[in-house]
Structure 1
Amino acid sequence: MNEPAPRPAPAAEGPALRAGDADRDRVAAVLADALATGHLDPDEHAERLEATYAARTLAQLHPLTADLAVSATELQPVAPPSTMPVTALFSKVRRGGQWPVPPASVARARWGKLVIDLRHAVFTRREVVIEADAFFGLVELVLPAHVRVYDEGGALFGKRALPSAALDETQADGPVLRVTGRAVFGQVRIRRAGDARYPWREWR
């Protein structure tokens, strides 16, 4: 009597094809929606978003949305988050919490202080650009440890300051923030949460 042939091992879910930035962006958009609707808590969202940016194949991306109401393969193109400029004019303005970071946005301080707190923000793209313009004012960007930042702006009788705290190398595949714009008789300050140079009371 012939014994039945052994069953082949199940293949990994999702095709073993290389994932591109557009694929990772689709997954990040699904995760952002799941966070906003309460299907993921902040810790779960952060963990899955980190895995999204680190994924190299579609097979690695598939499990990240497989248990959600809408998967990345079913997601339809949606309008990006609002790109309206955020401005502090003769005032202090702080933006924080779980807000979706658009692919490109503008932050302006005119004789005022503008704090953009990205510690709990939802990055819906692998790379985002913030145009930070300070005119006789201060624009401060507060970053979580896993975000890589590149300051590509300029200054005229002003100052631009980068974070002193080093990037957590275990998060080298995290989101990328490019900061453009100008500091004219003002300051653009980029720091990581916990930077001892700038105590919490300074910007809260």
Structure 2
Amino acid sequence: MRAGDVDRDRVAAVLADALATGHLDPDEHAQRLEAAYAARTVAELHPLTADLPVSATELQPVAPPSTTPVTALFSKVRRGGQWPVPPTSVARARWGKLVIDLRHAVFTRREVVIEADAFCGLIELVLPPHVRVYDEGSALFAKRALPMGAADATSADGPMVRITGRAVLGQVRVRRAGDARHPWREWR
């Protein structure tokens, strides 16, 4: 039987839980997640979760992660580490800076949407090399910047981040981890 996106998303959710509970290390999680998104049949998906506490055949639909907006108001807010990326997120910067670091994030869906609204502020997204990104937002007296070759990531089967929203008198900036132009940013 052919696997659909719903089947792949359920396996990705099990893998995310296994990573969060320590049953998988980050490298093995990345390998299994890549295999899950490349799977064409349900039979290819089953071995990816068979040795985990919850297998894909026993999995019930999982509630999506919290979709509470992340807001930086007259401040700097940084979201990073191993956190599950919800299918849709809202990021707001009002006279502040919001950094969303996706380098170690757990993608539970193949495509996630981040609504980035910057009013007199800056929203910066830090992406790992295997993530594709598309910016569909608008700008008014503002700037939206993507890295060169943003849509041409190293893995066409990897997750995709779609950025929407508005920038007014502010900036929405996307960069790759390890950007050679600004190596000092990694520790900020």
Aligned to 1:18: 2
Tell me by how many angstroms 1:124 deviates: 0.6
Partner deviation per Cα, 1:121-143 (whole Å, 9 max, x = no partner): 00011111000111111000011
Separation in 1, partners of 2:11, 2:56: 5
> How big is each residue's C-alpha offset from its partner over 1:133-154, in whole Å with a ceiling of 9 and x where there is no partner?
1111100001111111111100
Aligned residue for 2:7, secondary structure, equals: helix
- Cα–Cα, structure 1 residues 149 and 203, in superposed 2: closer, same or farther, change >3 Å? farther
For residue 119 of structure 2, what is the amino acid of its counterpart? F
Relative to structure 2, which stretch is displaced further, 159-168 or 134-143? 159-168
Change (3 A) 1:57 1:84: same
Question: Conserved in 1, the CA contact under 8 Å of 2:178 and 2:186?
Answer: no
* Matching of residue 175 in structure 1 with residue 156 in structure 2: no
**Structure 2 Cα separation of the partners of residues 163 and 63 of structure 1:** 36
Q: Give secondary structure in 2 for the equivalent of 1:48.
A: helix
Give the aligned partner of residue 80 of structure 2: 96
2:121 and 2:183 map into 1 onto residues whose CA distance is: 19
Distance 2:149 2:162 in 1: 17
Residue segments in structure 1 that go unaligned for 5+ positions in a row: 1-16
Q: Counterpart in 2 of 1:184? A: 168
Q: Secondary structure at the match of 1:109?
A: strand
Q: Is 1:140 aligned with 2:107? A: no
Q: Which letter maps to 2:160?
A: V
Per the normalisation by structure 1, the TM-score is: 0.88
| 8 Å contact from structure 1 (residues 18, 58) kept in 2 | yes
- Following the alignment from structure 2 to structure 1, what is the Cα–Cα distance between the partners of residues 61 and 23? 20
Residue deviations 1:142-200, cap 9 Å, x none? 1111111111100000000001266443x110011100001100000011111223333
Pairwise CA RMSD of aligned residues?
1.4
**Runs of 4+ more than 6 Å apart:** none
Q: Secondary structure at the match of 2:3?
A: coil
Residue ranges of structure 2 left out of the alignment (5+ in a row): none
Higher gyration radius (CA) = 1
CA distance in 2, matches of 1:92, 1:200: 17
Match of 2:26 among 42, 45, 48: 42
Matched, 1:115 2:99: yes
Report the equivalent of 1:160: 144
The superposition leaves residues 87-112 of structure 1 with CA deviations (integer Å, 9 ceiling, x where unpaired) of 11111111100000000010111111
Percent of pairs identical after alignment? 86
Following the alignment from structure 2 to structure 1, what is the Cα–Cα distance between the partners of residues 182 and 139?
21
Q: In the aligned structure 2, how far is the partner of 1:133 from the partner of 1:62? A: 40
Residues paired across the two proteins, number: 187
Match of 2:56 among 54, 61, 72: 72
2:67 partner letter: T
Tell whether the 8 Å contact from 1:164 to 1:195 is kept in structure 2 after alignment. Answer: no
Q: Tell me if structure 2 keeps the 8 A contact 1:164–1:191.
A: no
The answer to whether the aligner puts 1:194 opposite 2:166 as a matched pair is no
2:89 is aligned with 1:105: yes
Asked if the contact 2:132–2:153 (Cα under 8 Å) also holds between the matched residues in 1, the reply is no
